[in-house]
Chain A
Amino acid sequence: MAHTNLPEKTKLENEKEPIPEEDAKPENAERREFMIKAGSVCLGGAVAIPPIAAGIAVLMDPLRRKQGDADFTRVTLLDALTEDGTPKKFTIYADKQDAWNKFPNTAIGAIYLCRKSDGKIDAFNVVCPHLGCAVVFRESERDYYCPCHNSAFDLETGTQAPDSPSARGLDSLEVKVENEGEVWVKFQNFQPGIADKKAIV
């Protein structure tokens, strides 16, 4: 009789029942059962695809959204910066698109500007390149310092101190002076935690 291919656990108490003919041939029955099993697995997988695929597509949506190229923004006037090499912190304002809302001229980050005696201006993003806390200027040590994991950075160059956990120095930003004394900075954020300075796009 057929049914030898059924698991033993199944109660088989149907000897009296008439058995359909196709099951009477063991080979056919075996092939049929294989087809059904394979079909179940394939179709069972296929049927779950639409909801899961649509869900994953929505989940992955941020990957196709780019920040766009950074622009220079006007930050301050040259006269506002002292030439003694003491850095000054400035908030950066720009238009921000946050999902469905556009926030015009809103605070998007902060920088330190430092004007040297030779007239050169350094700009550093306040975000610590270690893991993204905000650094502060330490008057006592004349350096930049991150209170999260104690990274310290050189005031002049932004290079990390030898015992700092940060993989790279502070992220410098492009600066230009326009319209006779306006300081413009190309504000960007960079990938934290890595040795290379890589802009987040």
Chain B
Amino acid sequence: MNALLGWLDQRTGYKKIVNEILFENIPGGPRWRYIWGSALTFCIFVQFATGIMLWMAYSPSSQTAWESVYFIQEEMNAGWLLRGIHHYAAQLMTVLLILHLMQVVIDKAYTAPREVNYWFGLGLLFLVMALSLTGYLLPWDQKGYWATKVATNMVAITPVIGESLQKIVIGGADYGHHTLTRFFALHAGVLPGLLILLIVAHIYLFRRHGIKAKKPFRRADTPFWPEQVFRDIVAALAVMAAILALVLWFGGAHLSAPADPAERYPARPDWYFMFLFQFLKYFKGEGVLWGGIYIPAFIVGLLFLMPFIGRWKQGHRFNLIFLYTLLVGFVYLTYIAYAKDAKDEEFQFAQEQARKDAERIRVLAKAPAGIPQGGATSLLRSDPYTQGPKIFADKCASCHAYGGMDGLGRELKEPPSAPDLKGVGSREWLAGFVDPDQIATAKYFGGTHFVDRDGGNQSRMVEYVMGLRDLSPSGQEELAKVVAAVSAQAELKSQKGLDEADSDLIQEGSDLFWDGITGVDEACIDCHGWDGEESSESRTPDLTGWMSREYMIEFIKNPEHPRFYGSGNDRMPAYGEEGTLTVQQIGLVVDWLRGEWYEPVDEQMP
């Protein structure tokens, strides 16, 4: 063994290098305060090790980036752990870098002859920030997409070259495949390459000038190995423990819904850029140049000049005050940004929606149909459970309520002026409609022109229902049968079993639709169409196929069609005819109202 090592040493001189690395003198012996550099080096090792493994499963294109990260996160062995370590090590690295910088300045380690090394250190700080920024976009989820958009739009405000520069950075006029290929090349190639170069230079210069020892010395000089190494390793252990604790505490790194330029998202950068986010709020109009470019450039310039300022008598004090001010500013702005968000109901609501979308996309991606080749974005776009309430809140909730709310669980801005559509088509909903105590309430026709609140001038339907007040028990029974028959037309998923079991009763109800209910003068058929026969009046809805999918879609497209209300329509707009909603959107809201969306089959069930 020794012969072999000797042979190797003769040819490489490795023993000298190892000696230099391990037995560097540490004046005053090992100290815990010297661990920061090693802790950071360890973080970088973690990032390279995990990053390369993630690279092996990542696919940078706008149709595969989210999908491949989802696959790492949800399907691959320990993928969530790998991604979690990479994510939280990056966060911890930012903290350690700031601490390292603080220590260097406090210990005056940035003054001669260590100026150049201080600059390398600053360079490393900015490289790590650039790595964080580029890495944030790579999962191509809503969170990274919108936050990075803000950052790249900052590029565009650069005077003169801004527009061209932005195009070069994002690989085109808008975000797409080439934004990802570029960001990925930066994140996994260019920036890590520069990082290695700078680290080598940083450590080389550090060894050249030796450690900036803290005085007074408490003990004799020792070599780096083993006592300082031991301390450094304990520090690395603490870093690793912190990373793992964060991963476990948060259940891995978050992955929000796939990026969708048409879906709004409460864009926020990650915490370490929140101060900048808040800072930019203070600059109006073109002033953003000051907040986004001039002032940050001035601060960075000053940071680079600190070794020279430090030479001057009061300079070091100035540097310290400057750095503390920056730190206080950083903490203050970050705090303000989070405090404002915590109080901002709109933001909280949007975040809650985003959380729901992130949860839902996992259900859809795990469905047997899987992720379509075009990418996962279309899964949410075509999901009634996701889109139905959003469309309802946006387009329908100005008149209709859904269970008293706006569809997304918020209070209505104004009292509803059209029927509450929760459960529409069901027996329960219809039974309430033909209840004399309910028809004129806000839940049904109370807010419409079919009811005149001052009495008199009721529509025939309302008058008819009011007339059912003194129905005999057998009449009540017959009414229930008609309700069952009409409701069965909706063919609701939730009522399938009930409709099948009650087929006889439904048939009786259908007959009563023609014949009328005992004790009531008019029969339904006197106004409404039924069983293929059209309505005898153009102002009353045909009830054949009532609230079936097709019926509702056609109704929403144009309620003034003779099949529905004709000229008797209240204020319901013809959403399809007007082009306010596409047929697909109408379909989504209809499916949602009818309770039809994908539900995972519980595998526990026999």
Cβ-defined partner of A43 (8 Å) among B57, B237, B370 = B237
Q: Are B79 and A58 in contact (CB-based, < 8 A)?
A: yes
Q: Are A57 and B369 in contact (CB-based, < 8 A)?
A: no
Is A17 part of the contact surface with B, judged by Cβ < 8 Å? yes
Give the shortest distance, in Å, between A30 (CB) and chain B (any CB). 12
Across chains A and B, the number of contacting residue pairs, with CB separation under 8 Å, is 131
Cβ-defined partner of A10 (8 Å) among B71, B72, B221, B240 = B221
Which of A98-106, A159-167, A193-201 lines the interface with chain B? A98-106
**Chain A residues with CB below 8 A from B46, complex form:** 51
Which of B113-121, B227-235, B481-489 lines the interface with chain A? B227-235
Is A82 part of the contact surface with B, judged by Cβ < 8 Å? no
**Chain A residues with CB below 8 A from B226, complex form:** 33, 36-37, 40
Cβ-defined partner of A61 (8 Å) among B68, B77, B85, B240 = B77
Q: Are A36 and B222 in contact (CB-based, < 8 A)?
A: no
- Find residues 1-38 in chain A having any chain B CB closer than 8 Å to their own CB: 3, 6-7, 9-14, 17-20, 23, 33, 36-37
Complex CA gap A99/B56 in Å reads: 13
As a 0/1 sequence over residues 43 to 78 of chain A, the CB contacts with chain B under 8 angstroms (1 = contact) are: 110111011111111111100100000000000000
Q: Are A59 and B53 in contact (CB-based, < 8 A)?
A: yes
Q: Are A101 and B49 in contact (CB-based, < 8 A)?
A: no
Complex CA gap A56/B77 in Å reads: 9
Complex CA gap A14/B542 in Å reads: 103
Complex CA gap A47/B236 in Å reads: 7
Q: Are B49 and A19 in contact (CB-based, < 8 A)?
A: no
Give the shortest distance, in Å, between B66 (CB) and chain A (any CB). 9
Complex CA gap A47/B81 in Å reads: 15
Q: Are B217 and A17 in contact (CB-based, < 8 A)?
A: yes
- Find residues 419-456 in chain B having any chain A CB closer than 8 Å to their own CB: none
Give the size of the chain B interface in residues (CB under 8 angstroms): 52
Q: Are A54 and B50 in contact (CB-based, < 8 A)?
A: yes
Is B373 part of the contact surface with A, judged by Cβ < 8 Å? yes
**Chain A residues with CB below 8 A from B217, complex form:** 14, 17
Is B141 part of the contact surface with A, judged by Cβ < 8 Å? no
Q: Are A57 and B78 in contact (CB-based, < 8 A)?
A: yes
Complex CA gap A16/B531 in Å reads: 110
Q: Are B56 and A58 in contact (CB-based, < 8 A)?
A: yes
Give the B-binding residues of A (Cβ under 8 A): 3, 6-7, 9-14, 17-20, 23, 33, 36-37, 39-40, 43-44, 46-48, 50-61, 64, 97, 99-103
Q: What are 28 pairs between A and B in contact, CB < 8 Å?
A: A6-B222, A7-B223, A9-B223, A10-B222, A33-B227, A36-B227, A40-B226, A40-B230, A43-B230, A47-B233, A50-B240, A51-B89, A53-B78, A54-B78, A55-B53, A57-B77, A57-B82, A58-B76, A58-B77, A64-B77, A97-B370, A100-B70, A100-B71, A100-B75, A100-B365, A100-B371, A101-B67, A103-B373
